[in-house]
Structure 1
């Protein structure tokens, strides 16, 4: 594995390296388990929500998280206009919600609020009291990255749910559960 790269964005792939296709990339990334979240913007009749598994903790000072959304998707312009969003961390009991909000014809507006059993948070975005945790964020930066945009949010409020709720985990193209074993030292 290379230690450092001297390639700049936009450089061609070096000769001798095969460029993987999207299917191979998807299969490789499917081997990496991720948590599942519900990204929301707005509340009440203005609610937009989508299932998301690209959440990264970026910084502790300031508190920053990163989510990745389709550049041409419908939630991005709303987040940019409003300057805020919320990320609700889903528990195992939210599997049906995750499936519903992963579809293109997912609920919006008051129907989304009701389906999520959400309330309006301090930033005006839908927060799910049943989530294992929810982060209300102010948009800090956005970075174009291929066909997606990385949205970096400054955490303004943290809501915590039941700490004993097992997380919803996605791995190899489906939902799975964590095995409860002894914690590592």
Structure 2
């Protein structure tokens, strides 16, 4: 074993396959969205999960201000949406695969999961914020997931 550096740590963490999701929220800078892979269940009583966002991102600011956000867990056909929302610039919400709930929250059409979320608590973790949230509503679809592995989006379970 060696003393970890940023490059080794990044590579080590890339060996853990994870799902891919998109977080959306509307703050004072308008509607924002980001692709994430740092998402995890925390508790069943009460229902809680966590999402991590870079504190320099506009999506972090929007979630912090709005206290509510949309979460779409992507299916294997959403690679384009994952890459679109991973960009810092551009019109992310003009994609034909972005749909709106009755309250205006943006979701990715036909996502495995669409979840309205409410921020419960925020923790600082270096460059990122750890948002603890609870689901307010959930819509489920049966499909194969989009996965992130070794720095690449697009792996599937098959």
TM-score norm. by structure 2 comes to: 0.89
Shift of 1:107: 2.1
Task: Sort the Cα spacing of 1:121 and 1:79 in 2 relative to 1 into closer, same or farther, 3 A.
Answer: farther
Task: State yes or no: 1:132 paired with 2:84.
Answer: no
Alpha-carbon separation, structure 2, partners of 1:176 and 1:107: 26
Q: For 1:80, which of 53, 64, 83 is the aligned residue? A: 64
Note the 1:101-120 alignment, pairs <5 A: 101-108=85-92, 112=93, 114-120=95-101
Tell which structure's C-alpha radius of gyration is larger. Answer: 1
Give the secondary structure class of the aligned counterpart of 1:32.
coil
Task: Tell me, in whole angstroms, the C-alpha distance in 2 between the residues paired with 1:106 and 1:38.
Answer: 15
Unaligned runs of 5+ in 2: none
Q: Which residue of 2 aligns with 1:169?
A: 147
Task: Assess, with a 3 A threshold, how the Cα gap between structure 1 residues 19 and 129 changes in structure 2: closer, same or farther.
Answer: same
Spell out the pairing of 1:138-157 with structure 2 (5 A cutoff).
Answer: 138-157=118-137
CA RMSD of aligned residues (A): 2.1
| Count of residues paired in the alignment | 156
Question: Which aligned segments of 4 or more residues in structure 1 are displaced greater than 6 angstroms?
Answer: none
CA distance in structure 2 between the partners assigned to 1:96 and 1:50 by the alignment:
13
CA contact (8 A) 1:113 1:126 kept: no
| 2:36 is equivalent to residue 52 of structure 1 | yes
Contact 1:143/1:149, CA 8 A, preserved across alignment: yes
| CA–CA separation in structure 2 for the residues paired with 1:93 and 1:106 | 21
The separation in 1 between residues aligned to 2:77 and 2:26, in whole angstroms, is 24
Distance in 2 (CA, whole Å) between partners of 1:96 and 1:158 is 23
- TM-superposed CA distance for 1:68, in Å, is 0.4
TM-score, normalization by structure 1: 0.77
Alpha carbons of 1:150 and 1:121: their partners in 2 closer, same or farther (altered >3 Å)? farther
Show CA shifts across 1:86-111 (max 9, x none): 11000011001111111122425xxx
Structure with bigger strand share is 2
**8 Å contact 1:101–1:107 — kept in the other structure?**
no
Structure 1 distance, partners of 2:26, 2:56, is 19
